[in-house]
């Protein structure tokens, strides 16, 4: 089976490629915006340029059976675009549907689309989970663009017969993670005291290894066709518990001060950071029972196991950076 992975140099896309190359039943092609990433020699790498409404995918799609579409304009905290929704729609809606239409025309059988839990909304009540069949209710431009892309793909599936699989993950964490989760690791590693010792919310996350495993499940599972799945590790944690788990995995002590949530929420509103307060103190729970029951899928790693893997990778990175630093002066002295 021939697979095309878009966004193949990204956080999720590169992990999908790394896993697929270990599977002999798949032949792999990686689509990149620019040639800035190294892949194993068995991967067919092709440069397609920006993800746009007029991108030409004809060459990339030749002989392809399944497209795994991870490329996107991602959600950012400080968007500098004059109209973010227009920019999100250009890439995430028009760019995605352009690729999907060309995929259908090229005879691609299945299109696996990595969407976002933001299609459902920004948060849940405590112990109330999003379900796969809940009505979409996105709030921000990113979530709206993902919802519109989903709707366009579902319409295209009805018109052309191409099978569409939609996966909505919450926050994804794993080796190489950036943004908010990387900040958490930095705070814990530096021993920064945090006023987050008494937060009793419930949040779902998904380990990168679990997401990648599920994506591969959806490549050829017959029951995945034209379905929407919500995904998580199946072990919801509070912000306080998450920080404690990160500290344990990285071998650090937690310095969590039990400041009342109502007080921190009040201060956050005063300084215009209500969105930050919502992510830290609010709940967002995902019911992944559809993935388990319909496809028979089970998480391949626990949260603790994925965090330990992240800590191990970070130690290796530090070790090799230190070695490179030691080698350079030695070579310089020898040259003199």
Q: What is the pLDDT of residue 320?
A: 44
User: What's the pLDDT band for 276 if we cut at 50, 70, 90?
Assistant: confident
Beta strands in 76-197 (DSSP E): 110-114, 129-130, 163-168, 171-173
Q: How many CA atoms lie within 13 A of 63 on its CB side?
A: 8
Q: What is the pLDDT of residue 317?
A: 59
Q: What is the pLDDT of residue 316?
A: 59
Which among 262, 239, 3 is positioned nearest to 123, based on CA atoms?
239
- The CA–CA distances, whole Å, from 284 to 125, 163, 256, 334 equal 7, 29, 22, 58
Question: Would you name the residues annotated as active-site residues?
Answer: 142
User: What's the pLDDT band for 114 if we cut at 50, 70, 90?
Assistant: very high
Helix (H, G, I), strand (E, B) or coil at 287: coil
Range 38-46 contact pairs with CB under 8 angstroms and sequence separation of 24 or more: 39/8, 43/17, 45/8
Q: Which DSSP category does 227 fall into?
A: E
d(CA 113, CA 133): 17
> Which CATH number does 2-176+205-234+285-300 carry?
3.40.50.720
Q: What is the pLDDT of residue 80?
A: 64
Phi, psi of 123 (to 5 degrees): 175, 160
The answer to whether the pTM exceeds 0.85 is: yes
Tokens of 108: 């691609």
CB 237 within 8 A of CB 243: no
CB 233 within 8 A of CB 203: no
Return the number of other C-beta atoms located less than 10 Å from residue 179's C-beta: 13
CA end-to-end distance (rounded Å), the chain: 55
Q: What is the mean pLDDT of residues 130-155?
A: 95
Q: What is the mean pLDDT of residues 63-89?
A: 85
Angle at 142 between CA 241 and CA 121, to 5 degrees: 55
User: What's the pLDDT band for 325 if we cut at 50, 70, 90?
Assistant: very low
Which among 198, 201, 206, 200 is positioned nearest to 181, based on CA atoms?
206
Tokens of 285: 């729970």
* Residue 81 in this model has a pLDDT that exceeds 80: no
Q: What is the mean pLDDT of residues 250-279?
A: 92
**Mean pLDDT across the chain:** 90
């Amino acid at each position: 089976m021939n697979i095309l992975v878009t966004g193949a140099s990204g956080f999720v896309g590169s992990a999908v490629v790394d896993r697929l190359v270990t599977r002999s039943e798949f032949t792999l092609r990686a689509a990149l915006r620019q040639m800035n990433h190294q892949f194993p020699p068995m991967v067919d790498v092709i440069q397609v340029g920006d993800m746009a409404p007029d991108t030409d995918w004809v060459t990339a799609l030749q002989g392809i059976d399944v497209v795994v579409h991870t490329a996107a304009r991602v959600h950012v905290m400080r968007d500098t675009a004059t109209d973010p929704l227009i920019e999100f729609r250009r890439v995430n809606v028009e760019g995605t549907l352009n690729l999907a239409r060309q995929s259908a025309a090229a005879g691609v059988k299945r299109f696996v689309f990595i969407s976002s839990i933001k299609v459902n909304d920004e948060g849940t009540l405590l112990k109330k989970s999003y379900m796969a069949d809940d009505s979409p209710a996105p709030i921000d431009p990113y979530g709206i663009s993902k919802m519109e892309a989903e709707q366009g793909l579902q319409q295209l599936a009805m018109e052309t017969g191409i099978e569409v699989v939609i996966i909505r993950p919450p926050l994804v964490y794993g080796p190489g993670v950036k943004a908010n989760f990387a900040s958490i690791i930095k705070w814990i590693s530096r021993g920064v005291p945090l006023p987050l010792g008494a937060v009793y919310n419930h949040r779902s996350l998904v380990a990168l290894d679990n997401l990648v495993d599920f994506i591969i499940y959806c490549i050829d599972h017959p029951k995945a066709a034209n379905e929407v799945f919500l995904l998580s590790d199946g072990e919801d944690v509070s912000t306080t518990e998450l920080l404690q788990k990160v500290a344990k995995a990285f071998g650090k002590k937690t310095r969590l001060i039990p400041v009342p949530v109502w007080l921190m929420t009040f201060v956050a509103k005063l300084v215009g950071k209500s969105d930050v307060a919502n992510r830290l103190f609010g709940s967002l729970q995902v019911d992944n029972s559809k993935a388990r029951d319909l496809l028979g899928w089970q998480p391949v790693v626990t949260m603790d196991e994925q965090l330990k893997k992240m800590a191990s990778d970070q130690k290796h990175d530090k070790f090799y950076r230190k070695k490179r630093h030691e080698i350079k002066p030695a070579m310089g002295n020898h040259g003199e």
